[in-house]
Structure 1
Amino acid sequence: MKVGLYFGSFNPIHIGHLIIANHIAEYSDLDQVWFVVTPHNPFKKKSSLLDNYQRLEMVYRATKDYQRLQPSNIEFNLPQPNYTVNTLVHLQEKYPNYEFALIMGEDNLKSFHKWKNYELILENHHIYVYPRISKDKAETRFDGHKKIHIINAPIMELSSTFIRKSIKEGKNVKPMLPQHVWEYLDEMNFYK
C-alpha cells in the first residue's frame, strides 16, 4: 500500500486541506493520504494552537466520510522536537509492508534542502508536491528529480490563520470548513 503523508497542525483543518488531499488520493498512484497532526512543540509558546487531541478530533471528523483519507497521531508519542526523517523511520518500522511518501506545498520544496537528513528522505521516499501561489516561480535544486512528483492540484489560498482570525472577529466561516468540523468548533467555542 502506498500512503502519502500530509503533515500539518490543522488548526483547524479546512476545505483547502481536504481538496488537496482528496485530489492527490484520486489523481496519483497513492492508495491513501494520512493527515499527520503535528503535536504542539513544548519549546514554543503558541496560545492559538488547540490541544493535540482536539486537532486530531477535527481531522477525524473532517475525513470520516472519505475512505482514502485518514487521520494520524503517529507523532504524538515521538520525542519532541521531532524531525520528519524520524517519523518516516518510525512508520517504516511499524508498517514494513507500506510505502510512505511525503506531500508538501511548492513553497516547502524550496527549503527542503535545509531539512534534517533530506538526502536520506529523498533516497527512500517519493515526494508529491502541490502548487502554491507564489510571486517567484524560481527553479529549485530538485527540478526534474525522479522521486519528486509535481501534482496539478487546485491552488488553495485559504489558511487556518485566516479562519482563526475570522472566528475571533465574529465572521461566518462555515463555508470554509467541513460541516462536522464547523459543528465541533461552534459547539466547543474554539478560537473566539
Structure 2
Amino acid sequence: MLDQLFGSKTRVLLLRLFLNNPDKYYFIRELARNLNLHLNSVRRELENLEKIGILNSFDHLETQAPITEEEIKDNKKYYRLNSQFVFIEELRSLFIKSHVLMEQVLIDKIDKIGEVDFLLLSGVFVGRSDALVDLLLVGNVNKQKLIKLINGWEKELGRSLNYSIMPKPEFLYRRSIADRFIFDLLENKKFILINRLKK
C-alpha cells in the first residue's frame, strides 16, 4: 500500500530504514547493497528526499566517520534523517500504521509455520526504542521457517529484529509470577496479533 501511496518501492524502503534508524548515517552504496536496490534509483530518491527536507546530507568530515575505499568512490557523502522535518512524526505514524494494515497477512504466514498461541509485536513495530524485543511468539513453531520469515521482515524494515520464542507453559508461568520481561511487554505499548491463551 505504501508503495502505491509514495509511488516508489525504493522511496518506501529508504524512508522506513531512516525512520527506524534516525541517528545513523548511510552512504549511497551501503544503502543499495543492504536494501538490494539499484544504485541509480537509490541516488535519485536520496536527492529527492533531501530536497523535500526529510534527509540531510553530510561529508565524512562532518560525520567524523571512518573512510573506506567504497565511500571514497561515493564522494564520502552520507545521509541521515532530518529529525526537525515538519512532518516527521506524521511520517512515523503512517509507517507504524502500515504495519497494522499488514496484520492479517502476518498472521496467515505465522500460522503456517506451526502452532502459535500468542504473538506480540513491540519495539520497532510500535515505535518503542526501549523495548526488550520487537516480537514475542508463544507456541511451537518450525524455527527455520520463522527465521526465514523474520529475515524477510528485516530486509523490508532495513534493520535487524530482536525476537523471543517461548513455549506456552513457560510463558504462562512467567506471566503468573509477573516476570519482568513479560510484564514489560504486556504493560507497555504493543500490538497483540494472536491470543489463543485461556484467560
Q: TM-score range by the shorter chain?
A: under 0.3
TM-score scaled to structure 1, two decimals? 0.27
Larger radius of gyration: 2
Kindly indicate which of the two structures has a greater share of residues assigned to helix.
2
